[in-house]
Each structure stands twice: as structure tokens, then as C-alpha cells.
């Protein structure tokens, strides 16, 4: 059975971001896709220190939730990352988590399906959305879209429940993501995966 991980980057397990993510879960279930919602935002997650240890051991030197989720991410077919908007950007905890999760894991993320979900009272959603999508697009992960940018609005979870368009966007996102996961699995069986070139690494020493 296909599986999708959903990361709640908010410190509130039942807040606005969680409300958006929870709207997606029944849709995944009806499509026969297993889900796991993981609370990240209230954990003590430090940022990457560029020590290079992961390049030798295959895991982050800080043995916390990042390494725990990494093992699940390796076998998952999709990843949804949700964040509230802090100062026009995703919050610091989820950014530190995503930096370390993507940098420290040696396994291929090629054609796992990614989706970002953001929540704000008013502004900063699209800027935060752009930041989170960059983790997917640098990793060969198709990005699932919806009928609007993947965002909800509200100051409280009750506010978000009144954002009918936002919740509809979440459900359509889950439907599109389910379709992509199944289509990629079907194409893998029929055609195999596309070739990925490696080796070229452009750098300009001395600022030239």
C-alpha cells in the first residue's frame, strides 16, 4: 500500500496547520493510501551545522526526530509538509527539520510526490509556499498542486474550519497527490524510471 507522510511544522498539534492537514487524510484513505501525521513543530530541532558526518554515516549526527522520520521517508511515496507563516516565511523549526532531513539522507527521493501546505492569518502564505516547494524541486520530486495555492487562512483552528475554499483546496490537493502517486507507480511498472544524470558540479573558484 502506498503511504504519505504529513509533517505538522506548527507548535500546535490541533492548530490551524493541523486542521488543514487533517482535511487531507480522509481523502487519502478513500484512495487506499496510508497516512501518518507527524508532529514536528513542538520538538527541539536544531539546525544543520555542516559537519559532514552524514556523508560518512548516512544519517544526521544529531540523533533526534529527523533520523526517525528519515527511515519512514525512505519507504514513503509522498511527503506533505505543513507550516504556519512566521514573518512571511515558514517557521524556524520546520526549516531546520527540512534542511537536515533532505541533506542528511543518502537515499533517492526521485519521483516521490511532494506537497507544501501553509497557514496564515492574513499574509505571507505564497512566500512560505515557495520556500517549502524548493526542497522538492531540488530532489527530483514532482510537486502536487490543487485548485488554488495550498493555503488556509485563520487565526484559530475554528477560523480555518470556516475557510471553505481553503479546505476544498486541501481535499483537491489530496486527490491530485493520490492520482500522481498511483500514476507514477503504474508508469514505473510499464516503462521504468527516467534516467538521472550525475557527476556535473559547476563551481566558480576565486569568484570568477
Output the DSSP codes for 6-54: EEE-SS-TTSHHHHHHHHHHHHHHHTT-EEEEEE-TTS--PPP----HH
What percentage of the chain exceeds 70 in pLDDT? 99
pLDDT reported for residue 207: 56
Backbone angles phi, psi at 7, to 5 degrees: -105, 120
CATH code, residues 3-207: 3.40.50.360
Q: How confident is the model at residue 208 (pLDDT cuts 50, 70, 90)?
A: low
Average pLDDT over the chain, rounded to an integer: 96
pLDDT given at position 205: 74
pLDDT at site 45: 98
Write out pLDDT tens, residues 26-44.
Answer: 999 999 999 999 999 999 9
As a dihedral over the C-alpha atoms of residue 152, residue 153, residue 155, residue 161, rounded to 10 degrees, the angle is -60
- Does the pLDDT at position 2 exceed 80? yes
Q: In this predicted structure, what is the pLDDT of residue 74?
A: 98
Domain ranges of the chain: 3-207
204: pLDDT confidence band, cut at 50, 70 and 90? Answer: confident
pTM for this entry:
0.95
d(CA 98, CA 118): 15
Question: Coil, strand or helix: which one is 99?
Answer: helix
- How many angstroms separate the CA atoms of 85 and 39, rounded? 17
Amino acid at each position: 500500500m502506498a503511504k504519505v507522510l504529513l509533517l505538522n511544522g506548527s507548535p500546535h498539534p490541533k492548530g490551524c496547520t493541523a486542521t488543514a492537514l487533517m482535511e487531507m487524510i480522509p481523502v487519502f484513505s478513500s484512495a487506499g493510501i496510508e497516512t501518518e501525521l507527524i508532529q514536528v513543530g513542538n520538538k527541539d530541532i536544531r539546525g544543520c551545522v555542516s559537519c559532514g558526518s552524514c556523508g560518512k554515516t548516512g544519517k544526521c549526527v544529531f540523533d533526534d526526530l529527523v533520523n526517525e522520520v528519515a527511515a519512514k521517508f525512505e519507504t514513503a511515496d509522498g511527503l506533505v509538509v505543513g507550516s504556519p507563516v512566521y514573518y512571511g516565511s515558514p517557521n524556524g523549526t520546520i526549516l531546520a527539520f527540512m534542511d537536515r532531513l533532505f541533506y542528511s539522507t543518502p537515499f533517492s527521493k526521485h519521483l516521490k510526490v511532494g506537497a507544501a501546505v501553509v497557514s496564515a492569518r492574513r499574509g505571507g502564505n505564497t512566500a512560505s509556499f515557495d520556500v517549502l516547494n524548493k526542497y522538492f524541486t531540488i530532489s527530483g520530486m514532482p510537486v502536487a498542486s490543487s485548485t488554488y495555492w495550498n493555503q488556509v487562512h485563520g487565526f484559530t483552528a475554528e477560523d480555518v474550519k470556516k475557510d471553505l475554499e481553503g479546505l476544498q483546496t486541501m481535499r483537491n490537493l489530496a486527490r491530485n497527490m493520490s492520482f500522481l502517486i498511483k500514476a507514477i507507480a503504474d508508469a514505473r511498472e510499464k516503462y521504468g524510471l527516467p534516467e538521472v544524470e550525475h557527476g556535473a558540479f559547476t563551481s566558480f573558484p576565486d569568484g570568477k
